[in-house]
Structure 1
Amino acid sequence: MIRILLAEDEDAMRTYLARALENAGYSVAAVDRGTAALPLLQSEHFDLLLSDIVMPEMDGIELAQRCAEMSPQTKVMFITGFAAVTLKASREAPQAKVLSKPFHLKDLVLEVDRIFSAPDSLQI
Structure 2
Amino acid sequence: MNKIILAEDDNDMRRFLAKALENAGYEVVSFDNGLSAYNRLREEPFELLLTDIVMPEMDGIELARRAAELDPDIKIMFITGFAAVALNPDSNTPKEAKVLSKPFHLRDLVNEVQKMLAA
Counterparts of residues 1-124 of structure 1 (less than 5 Å) = 1-88=1-88, 92-93=92-93, 94-118=95-119
SS of structure 2 residue aligned to 1:58: coil
**Identity rate of aligned residues, in percent?**
60
CA separation of 1:98 and 1:83: change in aligned 2, threshold 3 A: closer
Shift of 1:74: 1.1
Moved more, 72-81 or 26-35: 72-81
2:96 partner letter: Q
- Where does structure 2 lack aligned partners over 5 or more consecutive residues? none
Structure with more of its chain in helix, by fraction:
1
List runs of 5+ in structure 1 lacking aligned partners: 119-124
Deviations 1:65-110 (A, max 9, x none): 1101112221111000013323227962221000000000000000
How far apart, in 2, do the equivalents of 1:39 and 1:13 lie? 21
Tell which deviates more after alignment, 20-29 or 90-99. Answer: 90-99
DSSP-derived class of the 1:57 partner: coil
Count the aligned residue pairs: 118
The two structures have a TM-score, normalised by structure 2, of 0.93
How far apart, CA to CA, are the structure 1 residues paired with 2:85 and 2:70? 24
TM-score, normalised via structure 1 length: 0.89
How big is the alpha-carbon RMSD for the aligned residues of Structure 1 and Structure 2? 1.5
Runs of 4+ in 1 over 6 A off after TM superposition: none
Contact 1:4–1:29 (8 Å) recurs in 2: yes
